[in-house]
Each structure stands twice: as C-alpha cells, then as structure tokens.
C-alpha cells in the first residue's frame, strides 16, 4: 500500500504544530530486536506476561520474575536504537521544550538515541527498587542473578518497573498528562493501546476541549503496522513500520 498521502498529511499537521506529544509502545523498538508483548499470545516461556509482571507473580515466585527480567535486561544491552528512535530525537531538537516523549517502554532506547524529554510511564529495566528501604539504583543492564540484594539494607531488590495493578509514578504521570493536554499534535506509535491509564492519553488529547472550552481537539497521528485499540480517535493513520515511517516524516518536516 502507498503510504505517501498519509505521510504527507502527517507532515502538514506537524509543520503547523506548536507543541507535540508522543506516546510510544513496544512496536517502536521492534525493529531494534526487542520483542513486543502481545505478539506471541502474550506468553513468555509458557507464562502469561501478567504472571511475571505483577505483584502476585512476584509474591509467588520472585526467582522466575528475576529470570524474566534478567533476560530482558541482557536482550536490551545487546540492541541499538533504530531509525525510528533517531527520528524522534531529531524532532525533539526541532520543537525543544514543546516536544514531549511519553513512553511505555522500559528499554531506555529513546534516551540512547538522544531524547531528553522522556516520560517513562512504566519504569526502566536498568533500575532496581529495594523492597525494604525503597532505594532506587541504576544497575546498568547486567544479569543480576535471582536474589539481588540492596547495598543499604540487605533486602531483596525488584525491577523498578510498574507492574499490572500498580500505579504509575505520580510526577511522571502528571507531566505526561500535562504534555498531552497542551499539545496540538499527538503521535501514538507502536502501541496496541490496550493498557490503561497510558492509552487514555489519546482520548485526553482529543477531548481536551471538554475541559477547557477554547482548546481545539489535538490532531492524532497513529503509526503502527496495524490499527490499534484507539483507532476511533485517530485523524491520520500510517500503517507501516515506525523505523521506516518516522524518518520520512522527519525529512518532510525539514524540507518545509
Ligand atoms: P504491545 O506488544 O501490546 O503492542 C505492540 C504494538 O506495536 C502492536 O500494536 C503492534 O502492531 C505494533 N508494532 C509491532 N511492530 C511494529 C513496527 N515495526 N512499527 C510500528 N508498530 C509496530 O506493546 P505495548 O502497547 O507497548 O506494560 O504494551 C503496553 C504495555 O503492556 C507495556 O508497557 C507493558 C505491557 O505489558 C508493563 O510492563 C507494565
Ligand atoms: Zn534497601
């Protein structure tokens, strides 16, 4: 399918935008070689993702949870940002403080590509959080074994990841909502948009005028290989790999 008319429409909307917010999901890292969650029936070695990414799963078997996260950590340590990540980093340079990248990803690839205004809704793979004293530490992406301990208090540490049933970090969520509320164009990229509250940002971008009368609904551009759950809010849908579509959009914005 020829995507160029949709790409042209996205470029036009972006060139008119004063402020841009982006929500990314696992799909933006797929071309780097990071597996998405819902591709293989949402299973990891026979375990439901929810079982290795929930407080219940952790209570039941913290060894299994650490095995899962060590694999994800080493996987991410071996991959590189792809052209989609780099295009988003270039866009931040264009819009500066009016460009906010909200991500559900925990792989740190946006920061490695050069984005600085990144709001990590679901935590980060490189950080651990002590189950005793709450200390949060950047441990890089090495394999930590299945019984990693806090250097301060000796208790077991867990991945600093927001699991199913847990709340999002308050300040980060506030920033994400603010950026969404203030943007003229909202890009939703590589997410199935089924996990809330993150997916609710798309609706917020569209319905901000219901809260402050004079605000127009933001224009929503979706980039995915297939329409997501929030397709009803999408003004322009570009259905192709983000690592190919985003550099084309960047090129078009620059040509202006
Ligand atoms: P999903 O695995 O649910 O969705 C990945 C999306 O990326 C799908 O919509 C794919 O169609 C799309 N996709 C795949 N390859 C792509 C490509 N090359 N270019 C563009 N799109 C592509 O991942 P998320 O939506 O990120 O939460 O999942 C949301 C949350 O659920 C995750 O943050 C994680 C997970 O469980 C926690 O860990 C708390
Ligand atoms: Zn501790």
What does the pLDDT look like over 64-111, one tens digit per residue? Answer: 999 999 999 999 999 999 999 999 999 999 999 999 999 999 999 999
Rounded mean pLDDT of the chain?
95
- pLDDT exceeding 90 applies to what percent of the chain? 89
What is the structure's pLDDT at 32? Answer: 97
Q: What is the mean pLDDT of residues 26-52?
A: 85
Ligand nearest to the CA of 106: 1
The residue whose CB lies within 8 Å of the most ligand 1 atoms, and thus the one to mutate among 37, 69, 230, is: 37
Give burial (CB, 10 Å; 0-12/13-18/19+) of 78: exposed
Secondary structure class of 226 (helix, strand, coil): coil
* Confidence grade of residue 43 (pLDDT, cut at 50, 70, 90): confident
CA distances from 191 to 56, 146, 201 (A): 25, 30, 12
Residue 122 near residue 105, CB atoms below 8 Å: yes
* Confidence grade of residue 46 (pLDDT, cut at 50, 70, 90): confident
Q: Quick one: which atom of ligand 1 is closest to the CA of 198?
A: 29
Confirm or reject: Cβ of 104 under 6 Å from ligand 1: yes
Atom 33 of ligand 1: nearest residue by CA position: 104
Whether 58 has a pLDDT exceeding 80, the answer reads yes
* Confidence grade of residue 137 (pLDDT, cut at 50, 70, 90): very high
What is the structure's pLDDT at 51? Answer: 86
Whether 41 has a pLDDT exceeding 90, the answer reads no
What is the structure's pLDDT at 168? Answer: 97
**Whose CA is closest to 21, among 113, 127, 103, 83?**
103
Q: What is the mean pLDDT of residues 222-227?
A: 98
Task: List the Cα angle 86/92/97 in 5-degree steps.
Answer: 160
Residue 85 near residue 107, CB atoms below 8 Å: no
Which residues on adjacent β-strands are paired with residue 161? 123
User: pTM, whole model, 2 decimals?
Assistant: 0.96
What is the structure's pLDDT at 38? Answer: 79
Secondary structure class of 60 (helix, strand, coil): helix
What is the structure's pLDDT at 50? Answer: 81
Q: Quick one: which atom of ligand 1 is closest to the CA of 26?
A: 26
State how far Cα 77 lies from the chain centre: 17
* Confidence grade of residue 40 (pLDDT, cut at 50, 70, 90): low
* Confidence grade of residue 169 (pLDDT, cut at 50, 70, 90): very high
State how far Cα 244 lies from the chain centre: 18
Residue 76 near residue 5, CB atoms below 8 Å: no
Would residue 47 show up in a list of annotated catalytic residues for this protein?
A: no
What's the CA gap between 104 and 191, in Å, rounded? Answer: 8
Residue 185 near residue 223, CB atoms below 8 Å: no
Calculate how far, in angstroms, residue 147's C-alpha sits from the geometric centre of ligand 2.
13
38-66 core/surface letters (b: 16 or more CB in 10 A; e: else):
eeeeeebeebebebbbbeebbeebbebbb
Q: What is the mean pLDDT of residues 239-248?
A: 98
Whether 204 has a pLDDT exceeding 70, the answer reads yes
What's the CA gap between 159 and 212, in Å, rounded? Answer: 39
């Amino acid at each position: 399918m020829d995507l160029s008319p949709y790409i042209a429409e996205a470029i036009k909307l972006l060139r008119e935008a004063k402020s841009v917010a982006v929500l990314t999901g696992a799909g933006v890292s797929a071309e780097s070689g990071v597996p998405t969650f819902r591709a293989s029936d949402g299973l990891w070695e026979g375990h439901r993702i929810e079982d290795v990414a929930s407080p219940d799963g952790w209570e039941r078997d913290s060894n299994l949870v650490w095995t899962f996260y060590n694999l994800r950590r080493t996987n991410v340590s071996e991959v590189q940002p792809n052209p989609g990540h780099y295009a988003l980093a270039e866009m931040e340079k264009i819009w500066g403080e009016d460009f906010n990248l909200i991500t559900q990803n925990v792989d740190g690839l946006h920061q490695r590509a050069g984005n600085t205004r990144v709001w990590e809704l679901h935590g980060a793979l490189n950080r651990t959080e002590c189950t005793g004293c709450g200390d949060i530490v950047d441990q890089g992406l090495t394999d930590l074994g299945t019984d990693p301990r806090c250097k301060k208090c000796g208790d077991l540490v867990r991945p600093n990841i927001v699991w199913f049933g847990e709340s999002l970090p308050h300040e980060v969520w506030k920033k994400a909502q603010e950026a969404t509320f203030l943007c003229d164009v909202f890009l939703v990229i590589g997410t199935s948009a089924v996990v809330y509250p993150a997916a609710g940002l798309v609706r917020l971008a569209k319905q901000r005028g219901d809260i402050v009368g004079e605000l127009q609904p933001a224009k929503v551009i979706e980039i995915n290989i297939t329409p997501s759950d929030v397709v009803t809010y999408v003004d322009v849908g570009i259905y192709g790999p983000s690592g190919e579509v985003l550099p084309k959009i960047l090129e078009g914005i620059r040509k202006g």
